[in-house]
């Protein structure tokens, strides 16, 4: 069957976090998570996840950036490297990559229906109580693809939590935990400690953990789990720079600005030289690794990315240690990764939608960032502070209902308050095509509570059109609050801009 049929069939499964049909609350999940179901599906498919080494990455923010950076390093070192991430911005194929290339449509369709046929049989035989979810199905598909493509290693980003996540059926070489904050409380717990314990579910007895010092509650919870499991814990703190970041010329800027009239590659990336007049702080600094210099020149923008880069460096350093972890599956002498290959991998990392600047042929610049929780909003606010103070700004914002709308708007909306001393600023809300989306009335109420003026648009396409019309040509449009919004706006922009629906 066709790729389009496979994608339509996949989306018909429904999102795990979408409310159940008979739910009494928007936060009531469609189903309970049960890792036994994922193990049963994988077993029926031949347990493809056992045919390649893997690394699991859990956390609230920074998982995707860390995963993409580590995958890029391993690819630069010559290893056939799989990368599994979620969610996607434009196409579901983005989630399943090898050496930076998305799974081809034909392979996606073929493997999707293999998983689907197997799942239906298991339901008929009462091995499974119901059909696997959207994420479980995609995870099984990815494992099959990586197995048949004989990857050397797979970098797997956990979807939600860790303990019960579909990815957690692998036996990882390393477990990485990125920064933890409050998010998905309805499913993971109401405190940092509770959420951390769910994330720490990716740890294995006598395994290896790579993480960084962070919130005290998270540190304590990680430490308690690590002690119980006799974990070998590695801190990536030595790989965070302690000197001021150098500002480099525009030709090497990591503020990825794309002239939308120019040709883009299949991922929407463009390696062209960005204009010098608008740049964000550039992560270019020097470290020492194994007694040798390491020059970091990252294509990821924002000071917060230094933590994600540090985690990737620490993981690469541990992977080339032949006695530090279980490598019985592959590569009996450790992964051969040089400092220059780590530098190359970091330099070539691309992760769209994360402080990504796009430029229209005429008019304002577009800044995209998938800040979808309060911690991400604070990170974005720090980046906004680096923009020219006098530059006019328009905020395009929307979010999902299970996010902390009140706190996110308190963090971001005051930066775009046209009733204060920024008369050329604007705030636009737009609806997201998702059953979990916050309504326009709820968004407007949040702005009213702060006494900050805001407008609404009936669709994301019209919101982008309106934003381009009201923002001065030297201004900037910032789209954030939801990965779904950022993905839709990015697609519109890369296709030449939006017209009223």
pLDDT tens-digit readout, 47-81: 999 999 999 999 988 999 999 999 999 999 999 99
Mean pLDDT of 406-428: 89
Question: In 3D, which of 246, 83, 242, 86 has the Cα closest to residue 152?
Answer: 83
Tell which CATH architecture fits domain 356-494.
Alpha-Beta Complex (3.90)
Q: What's the pTM?
A: 0.85
Please give the order of strands across the beta sheet that includes 356-359. 257-259, 356-359, 365-368, 476-480, 393-397, 426-429, 455-456
256 alpha-carbon distance from chain centroid = 17
Question: Is the model's pLDDT at 115 over the cut of 70?
Answer: yes
Q: To the nearest whole percent, how much of the chain has pLDDT over 90?
A: 61
* Per-residue pLDDT at 332: 54
* Per-residue pLDDT at 31: 57
Mean pLDDT of 140-150: 98
Per-chain mean pLDDT for the chain = 85
Asked whether the CA dihedral 415, 279, 294, 335 is positive or negative, the reply is positive
pLDDT in tens, 374-383: 888 988 998 8
Mean pLDDT of 435-450: 92
Question: Is the model's pLDDT at 327 over the cut of 60?
Answer: no
Mean pLDDT of 249-274: 35
**Residue 323's pLDDT band (cuts 50, 70, 90):** low
Question: Is the model's pLDDT at 434 over the cut of 90?
Answer: no
**Residue 389's pLDDT band (cuts 50, 70, 90):** confident
* Per-residue pLDDT at 82: 98
Q: CA-to-CA distance for 219 and 445, rounded, in angstroms? A: 36
Question: In 3D, which of 450, 367, 373 has the Cα closest to residue 414?
Answer: 450
- Between 194 and 82, name the one with better pLDDT: 82
pLDDT in tens, 155-207: 999 988 888 899 999 999 999 999 987 765 555 656 888 889 989 999 999 99
Would you tell me which CATH number, out of the four given (3.40.190.10, 3.10.350.10, 3.40.1190.10, 3.40.350.10), belongs to the domain 3-14+35-239?
3.40.1190.10
Q: CA-to-CA distance for 84 and 97, rounded, in angstroms? A: 7
Q: Give phi and psi for 96, each to the nearest 5.
A: -120, 105
**Residue 30's pLDDT band (cuts 50, 70, 90):** low
Q: CA-to-CA distance for 190 and 381, rounded, in angstroms? A: 24
- Between 274 and 229, name the one with better pLDDT: 229
Mean pLDDT of 207-232: 93
Question: Is the model's pLDDT at 247 over the cut of 50?
Answer: no
Q: Would you state the structure tokens that stand for residue 454, as one six-digit string?
A: 């805001």
Asked whether the CA dihedral 286, 289, 293, 297 is positive or negative, the reply is negative
Mean pLDDT of 446-456: 94
* Per-residue pLDDT at 116: 97
* Per-residue pLDDT at 160: 83
Residue with tokens 């690794």: 289
Lowest-pLDDT range of 92-106, 119-133, 248-262? 248-262
Q: CA-to-CA distance for 323 and 332, rounded, in angstroms? A: 9
**Residue 384's pLDDT band (cuts 50, 70, 90):** confident
Lowest-pLDDT range of 26-30, 139-143, 196-200, 338-342? 26-30
Q: Which of 212-221, 271-280, 418-427 has the highest mean pLDDT?
A: 212-221
- Between 371 and 14, name the one with better pLDDT: 371
Q: Identify the three-state secondary structure at position 61.
A: strand
For 236-291, list the strands marked E by DSSP: 257-259, 284-289
Question: Is the model's pLDDT at 320 over the cut of 80?
Answer: yes
Residue with tokens 């304590």: 220
Residue with tokens 């629906």: 501
Ordered DSSP codes for 156-190 = EE-SSSSTT-GGGGS--SEEEE-B--S--HHHH-S
Q: CA-to-CA distance for 451 and 203, rounded, in angstroms? A: 46
Q: Where are the domains of the chain?
A: 3-14+35-239, 356-494
């Amino acid at each position: 069957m066709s790729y389009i049929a496979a994608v339509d069939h996949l989306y018909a499964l429904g999102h795990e976090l979408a409310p159940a049909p008979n739910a009494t609350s928007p936060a009531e999940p469609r189903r309970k998570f049960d890792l036994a179901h994922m193990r049963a599906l994988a077993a029926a498919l031949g347990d493809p996840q056992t045919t390649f080494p893997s690394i699991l990455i859990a956390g609230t923010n920074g998982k995707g950036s860390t995963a993409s950076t580590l995958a890029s390093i391993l690819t630069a070192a010559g290893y056939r490297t799989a990368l599994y991430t979620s969610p996607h911005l434009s196409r579901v194929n983005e989630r399943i990559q090898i050496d930076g290339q998305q799974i081809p449509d034909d392979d996606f369709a073929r493997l999707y229906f293999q998983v689907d046929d197997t799942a239906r049989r298991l339901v008929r035989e009462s091995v499974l109580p119901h059909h696997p979810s959207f994420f479980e199905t995609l995870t099984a598909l990815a494992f099959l693809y990586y197995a048949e493509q004989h990857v050397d290693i797979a970098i797997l980003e956990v979807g939600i939590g860790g303990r019960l996540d579909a990815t957690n059926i692998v036996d990882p070489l390393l477990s990485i935990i990125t920064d933890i904050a409050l998010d998905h409380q309805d499913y993971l717990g109401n405190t940092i400690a509770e959420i951390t314990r769910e994330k720490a579910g990716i740890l294995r007895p006598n395994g290896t953990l790579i993480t960084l010092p962070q919130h005290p509650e998270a540190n304590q919870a990680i430490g308690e789990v690590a002690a119980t499991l006799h974990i070998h814990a590695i801190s990536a703190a030595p790989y965070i720079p302690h000197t001021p970041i150098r500002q480099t010329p525009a030709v090497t800027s990591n503020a990825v600005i794309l002239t939308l009239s120019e040709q883009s590659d299949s991922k929407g990336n463009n390696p062209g030289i960005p204009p010098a007049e608008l740049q964000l702080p550039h992560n270019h600094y020097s470290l020492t690794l194994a007694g040798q210099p390491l020059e970091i020149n990252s294509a990821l923008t924002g000071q917060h990315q230094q933590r994600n880069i540090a985690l990737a460096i620490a993981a690469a350093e541990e992977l080339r240690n032949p006695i530090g972890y279980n490598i019985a599956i592959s590569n009996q002498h450790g992964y051969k990764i040089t400092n220059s290959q780590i530098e190359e991998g970091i330099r070539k990392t691309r992760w769209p939608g994360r402080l990504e600047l796009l430029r229209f042929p005429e008019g304002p610049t577009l800044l995209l960032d998938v800040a979808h929780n309060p911690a991400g909003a604070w990170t974005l606010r720090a980046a906004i502070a680096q923009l020219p103070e006098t530059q006019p700004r328009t905020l395009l914002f929307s979010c999902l209902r299970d996010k902390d709308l009140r706190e996110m708007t308190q963090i971001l909306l005051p930066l775009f308050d046209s009733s204060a001393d920024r008369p050329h600023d604007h705030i636009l809300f737009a609806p997201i095509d998702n059953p979990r989306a916050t309504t326009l009335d709820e968004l407007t109420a949040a702005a009213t509570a702060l006494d900050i003026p805001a407008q609404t648009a009936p669709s994301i396409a019209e919101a982008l059109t309106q934003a381009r019309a009201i923002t001065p040509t030297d201004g900037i449009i910032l789209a954030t609050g939801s990965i779904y919004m950022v993905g839709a706006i990015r697609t519109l922009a890369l296709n030449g801009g939006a017209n009223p629906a």
